[in-house]
A and B are shown apart, each in its own frame.
Chain A
Amino acid sequence: AQSVTQLGSHVSVSEGALVLLRCNYSSSVPPYLFWYVQYPNQGLQLLLKYTSAATLVKGINGFEAEFKKSETSFHLTKPSAHMSDAAEYFCAVRATSGSARQLTFGSGTQLTVLP
C-alpha cells in the first residue's frame, strides 16, 4: 500500500524567505505524486504533479518540487514566500497501474507567512 508522510504539521517563514515543505512517499514503484493547496473553507487546488517525465517539476504560483527516487522524497519549495501563500498544503500519491485511482494524502502542512 502506498502512503505519504509530511514532516512538520506547521511551518512558519518570513515573507521573502525560502519555503520548504517536506514529503516522503512509500511505494514499491515510483508513483504519481501531487501537491495540493487548500485555503480556508475551500477545496483543493493542484500546485503541481510528478508523472515521471522530469524530476524537477514546476507548478503554479512559483512553486516547484523535485522527485528524488533515492530518498523517496518529493519536497515542495518556493524561493520567496508571499503573504498569499499562507494555506495548508497536502502531498498526495496515486498508483501508476491497476484500477485504484484514488489519492492517498499526507496529513498536511499548515504554512504561516510572517510579515
Chain B
Amino acid sequence: KAGVTQTPRYLIKTRGQQVTLSCSPISGHRSVSWYQQTPGQGLQFLFEYFSETQRNKGNFPGRFSGRQFSNSRSEMNVSTLELGDSALYLCASSIPAGNTEAFFGQGTRLTVV
C-alpha cells in the first residue's frame, strides 16, 4: 500500500511569491491534515480537510489556505511568501474514526529567500 506522497520535496521561492504544495493520501483515507515544522515553533497544525471541507484550522494568517479534491488529494497554498514561512510542511492522512493514527508524508521543504 502506497504511503502519503507529498510533492515537491524541495522548493525555493522568493519573498512575495506564492506557492502550492500537494499531498496524496493513503488510499481510503479521507482526512488530510497539514502541519508546519520550524526549529523555533516546532510542529504546528495548519488545517484539516475531510470530504472536501475544512473541518479545523490552526492559528495561521489567511495567507495560508488549502483545499481537498473529491479523490481526497489535498493542496495547500501560501500567498505573499515571507521569510518566516520557510519550513518543512508535513501532510498527514487518516481514517477519521475513533482512535486511528495519522500517517505522515516525507514533507515539502520550503525555503523563502
* Least CB distance, A103 to chain B, in whole angstroms: 6
Cβ contacts under 8 Å, B55 to chain A: 99, 101
Q: Kindly identify, within residues 13 to 72 of chain B, every residue whose CB is under 8 Å from any CB belonging to chain A.
A: 31, 33, 35, 42-43, 45, 48, 55-56, 58
Contact between B105 and A102 (Cβ–Cβ < 8 Å)? no
Cβ contacts under 8 Å, A107 to chain B: 42
Number of A-B contacts (CB under 8 A): 57
Q: How large is the interface on B (under 10, 10 to 19, 20 to 34, 35 or more residues)?
A: 20 to 34
Contact between A44 and B90 (Cβ–Cβ < 8 Å)? yes
The prevalent SS among residues of B at the interface is strand
Contact between A51 and B99 (Cβ–Cβ < 8 Å)? yes
Contact between A32 and B103 (Cβ–Cβ < 8 Å)? no
A28 interfacial by beta-carbon distance below 8 Å: no
Give 4 closest A-B pairs by Cβ, nearest first.
Answer: A51-B99, A43-B104, A105-B43, A102-B45
Interface of A with B (CB < 8 Å)? 32, 34, 36, 41-46, 49, 51-52, 90, 96, 99-108
Contact between A43 and B107 (Cβ–Cβ < 8 Å)? yes
B86 interfacial by beta-carbon distance below 8 Å: no
Name 24 A/B residue pairs within 8 A (Cβ), A-sorted: A34-B101, A36-B104, A41-B107, A42-B107, A43-B90, A44-B92, A44-B104, A46-B101, A46-B102, A49-B99, A49-B101, A51-B98, A96-B99, A99-B56, A101-B31, A101-B94, A101-B96, A102-B33, A103-B43, A103-B45, A103-B92, A105-B43, A106-B42, A108-B43
